[in-house]
Structure 1
């Protein structure tokens, strides 16, 4: 991809790409007058959703007072929330969007849910520097949640929502004259990195910034360049432990078709591997032997993690890939592309994906496995889905309004944090795992409208079918 412009000739950070909720409401109000496809817009006491936005966090206890999980008071604005969701689906600009009828046909909901709403904090709002890159949120623990706001990386805490610290101020970077615009973040939990909390940021012009959030020097930031190539935008970073030494390593994907490995303690790049297309995301297998890559191609590459050699090429997506993740048990891989599809692969048999799911309203930009084996899939806007595992027989759809800047799993998925970058209703959303998980017991309470219940994904499957069980 061009690091500055896309096929539609718009800059990758053009404000017109923002799917701002207030602008949508204004558009719905005007277009519903003539467009019979749209539900009617009822006028309320409040003329605009921009008025009266909450300045304090919204908790699950506040939902009883008439606000939704983003602090929106629908009875004051006028239209019903369900009608707003329907109108938004119709007006959504994504080429991967589905018709409202198709969406409704897929939602054979039951009571119960895997995550329940915990809090929303409008004070912590992330910013996306490239509309296709949605990984500017990370967490090393529930007390250390990091998000990018352009040239700065902020820290907050789920336990102390008023906390806001600047841990990286890159507005005047040491390594270049241009401002450091953060395109991606990676924050590693301590239990995976020899009890070290590692925070790494990638930049628009090939820069990186790195700090140990637990170091004695108050988290001093080290800066440098991943590449000096004109198209060297850093698209993705993930950290992992060296399979021999256990020391933290970082894998940098960049738009110059390279993947580079850094030894974090020494800040030394140890390897670099070249490929035919730009790499947009990578994930290393739990044993450190293999790596999955997706990028500006319809192909998914399975490579030797130490030599970079391509071992297997998978060809099932129909557009560029932007998300991938290897499951903690090492058996399954999830990949997502701009064709609107999410594929699940079995590492014991690469012949076909064992599952294929369609996105809800737009393409998925993030896929992450939890420690318990559930899969969290975040789309461009509005939707995060949680599947019950590689079989994906059930899912929970978490529904809100706004562009998703990133998703972070805390304590392996015990808590789920979503960075909402919407200018009007954005902020930090958090959800906690319910005691029953994906079970049915104890799930007879009142459903919160914003968190949709179970859906059967048998109707969501594409042409691929599950492969036969393989005995290792």
Structure 2
């Protein structure tokens, strides 16, 4: 379950350097300055930047997240041991799991594929539902999107500034006159996806919002269910086999719906026997992974919804999935604290199980070149596996706080996955962290 670090990490003494909670609440709305005018806004921004942690700060001994351990009632090592001992993983099913640890692949976790680059508190995610953590997206290494309170924020690592691109606290009306559009107000965003310039957000009561980030207003908005218990668990933007852009919405009402992006017409809706928590479409647009309130995951035809295979092996409900860019492997994340890898050429059993440290696997992302798989737990740990080494080597990123999402920067080949972003949702220490891919240069590269 979600847990705020402030409940454990109390200050030994109160200094003059840190303010109250409002010290961490500054961010920029559009081009407006802070309420006290341009100079006050600039001063606030400078103060926030001083509180950020750079790669140089980290090398000189500052905590990666800027947590002042010297002023707290625990050291970092003491608090880590306490978290490992006391953190309780949330489970929906209480099935015997005695043999699960033996089934998990033995992994060497001492590699460093990504180096720490920056931690900023200028933007920080919030989580609406503790089981849904796919709330961070990158459309380039200079463009990152995350959910913060009633806003979707854009963060520019280049400019080190945040900007609001969508506010859902007030009234929302579609700018396009299309069938099925309905006005919305005060939406709690539970899921989101951003691909290219199209952003899609799902709401706690079945709302669906589509917006082009480079255009004002929202292109389309509606409520798909009208049921207050029908949370939108996952949304996605993908290309169908013909190359057309589609929007997919997975809901707690056991239905997966697909829309086009021209008139936002409902193309298909596939019913399932249980609440659908996550969906993902294969790179060629033909296969659909469906995960939910079941120990089994499904592979279906993306066009018809017809079940092709049933993936058996998990012991609890699943909430995350990701396809390798070559389309041959799909990864599934479960509350049994494992990620399973499935070869689509033989789905009778998983080819490997990767174990976590303290909790469920809530987030999965492959790097664009397929070299790495990022696996995020509900809190504290992100594991970056080397897929090219058969997932036998990994980097363990050790943090503190609830993880709202992980994202690689997109691109092809050497230009893909240059940055890895991790978003921490915490009232005091919430932040966005950026890691840069470590490149091993050849002897002659210094002459290029």
Structure 2 alignment gaps of length 5 or more: 25-46, 92-96, 174-181, 411-415, 443-448
Partner of 1:171: 170
Alignment of 1:64-463 (within 5 A): 64-77=59-72, 79-95=74-90, 110=110, 112-174=111-173, 175=182, 179-188=186-195, 190=196, 197-214=197-214, 217-218=215-216, 220-244=218-242, 246-373=243-370, 374-389=372-387, 391-411=390-410, 412-436=416-440
Cα 1:337–1:46, aligned 2, differ >3 Å: closer, same or farther?
same
- Displacement, 1:80? 2.9
SS, match of residue 162 in structure 2: coil
Does structure 2 retain, via aligned residues, the 8 Å contact 1:114–1:434?
yes
TM (norm. structure 2) is: 0.81
TM (norm. structure 1) is: 0.77
The separation in 2 between residues aligned to 1:426 and 1:309, in whole angstroms, is 42
Aligned-residue CA RMSD (Å): 2.7
The separation in 1 between residues aligned to 2:80 and 2:107, in whole angstroms, is 14
- Displacement, 1:108? 5.6
Deviations along 1:311-355, one digit per CA (max 9) or x if unpaired, are: 111111110010111111011010011111110011111121100
- Displacement, 1:225? 2.2
Does structure 1 retain, via aligned residues, the 8 Å contact 2:151–2:164?
no
Does structure 2 retain, via aligned residues, the 8 Å contact 1:67–1:74?
no
SS, match of residue 308 in structure 1: coil
Partner of 1:24: 8
The separation in 2 between residues aligned to 1:256 and 1:154, in whole angstroms, is 28
The separation in 2 between residues aligned to 1:129 and 1:158, in whole angstroms, is 25
Deviates more, 1:265-274 or 1:380-389: 265-274
- Displacement, 1:95? 4.7
SS, match of residue 171 in structure 2: coil
Q: How many residues align?
A: 389
Does structure 2 retain, via aligned residues, the 8 Å contact 1:301–1:311?
yes
SS, match of residue 161 in structure 2: coil
The separation in 1 between residues aligned to 2:16 and 2:246, in whole angstroms, is 48
- Displacement, 1:419? 1.2
SS, match of residue 82 in structure 2: helix
Deviates more, 1:372-381 or 1:410-419: 410-419
SS, match of residue 403 in structure 1: strand
The separation in 2 between residues aligned to 1:231 and 1:243, in whole angstroms, is 33
- Displacement, 1:302? 0.5
